[in-house]
Amino acid sequence: MAKQVRHIYAAGNTARGYKTFYDSVLQGLERVYILSGVVEGVTSPLIEAIGKEMSRKTNQVEWIHSPFVNGQYDGVVFHEWRVAIMDGSYPRIWRPAAPGVTEIQVNLQTAVGIEQLAPYKKQIAAWYEEEIFAKSEAAYQSFGEALRIHDEWEAPYIENLNREEANRVTEEVIALFFGEEKLGKKARVRRMYLGAATPHGPVDHIMKLTDSLQKRYFIKGRPGSGKSTMLKKLVVEAENRGYDVEVYHCGLDPHSLDMVIVPEKGLSIFDSTAPHEYFPSKETDEVIDMYTRAIAPGTDEKYQEELADIKARYTQKIKEATASLLAAKELRDQLNNLYSEAADQSRLKAVAQAIMSRLARMG
């Protein structure tokens, strides 16, 4: 079996606040090690070390990226062993399935010198209670305003949308994906994010996730041209026909969809407009243009001035939100550095070794 290395986001800084799909991403796993009691600056390097070491012994590794600090990890999943190692630090929220059986809390506090942190108690509290929280909330508020402006952006296109034609395109896509086929089993639906709003702007892993698939459909169009609605209908159809489906939600609005992958078919379809705009690079790639198919001709030109103003206001709010995330990240960096300096690396290494020994017995 060829080695599969995947990169996803399971949590996001969205227009609706910090939202996760941990329940869906981790469904069906037999064991989840939750590293708690410290900050991400201690947990992320540990997750990375375990992931890299154990990836030599398994063919399927899935990295869950952090939306807070580019290049850091919220977790790593080993699907063959049905095990995950996850960061349990603030603000990640867990709803346990079977504490101590499925979820195993690994408290890392004993690996951190409390006496080294004690002099910084007030500063740590201020970072958490006021500054990081406040900057994050400011980002979510700006993202929320951006989403409201995005609704304005959609309005002219919704008004000029040929719904019959949009439905026809959806029916064509469903036929392309499934024909008359059905599988006699219950579908597994796994939800996550297409990408994330990060301190350095939007990031996604679309090309990596779809590169090995047989066929990719690139949806082009405008806001309000029916892209997300099409994907939602495709998910329902896949589920009804018994096909496993990966559902990738929009990083700005978790209520909207940006990509669907049907692994059993080797097919993917995704919104290929900014901020995740891509173009076909393989012979098998295909474009579905919702603007030419379902929007009244001349709509862009008719609302040109109005749309330019909306786009400028939307871009400004996204910039403001990103700046707030960056300010929060800089505070996180200071907090992480403090904890990293106070951490006993030999103890952390021993914890990692203990977890890897258990995993090795499962392999």
Question: Per residue in 132-176, pLDDT tens?
Answer: 999 999 999 999 999 999 999 999 999 999 999 999 999 999 999
Q: Where are the beta strands (DSSP E) in the chain?
A: 4-9, 11-14, 17-20, 31-36, 60-65, 73-78, 83-87, 103-107, 189-193, 195-198, 201-204, 215-220, 245-249, 257-262, 267-271, 286-289
Residue 94 above 80 pLDDT? Answer: no
Helices (H), 179-298: 206-210, 227-240, 290-294
* Bridge-based pairing state of the strands 245-249 and 189-193: parallel
Closest CA relative to residue 64, chosen from 75, 56, 54, 55: 75
Range 178-192 average pLDDT: 96
Closest CA relative to residue 235, chosen from 218, 252, 249: 249
Range 214-219 average pLDDT: 98
State the amino acid at position 160 in one-letter form: N
Please provide the distance, in angstroms rounded to a whole number, between the alpha carbons at the two ends of the chain. Answer: 15
Measure the CA–CA gap between 179 and 135, rounded to whole angstroms: 49
Measure the CA–CA gap between 110 and 38, rounded to whole angstroms: 10
Lowest mean pLDDT among 126-135, 152-161, 179-188, 221-230: 126-135
Res. 360 pLDDT band, cuts 50 70 90: confident
Range 288-293 average pLDDT: 97
Per residue in 41-69, pLDDT (tens digit) is 999 999 999 999 999 999 899 999 999 99
- Mean of per-residue pLDDT scores for the chain: 94
- What pLDDT is attached to residue 2? 67
Name the DSSP class of 59.
S
pTM as predicted: 0.95
- What pLDDT is attached to residue 22? 94
Residue 311 above 70 pLDDT? Answer: yes
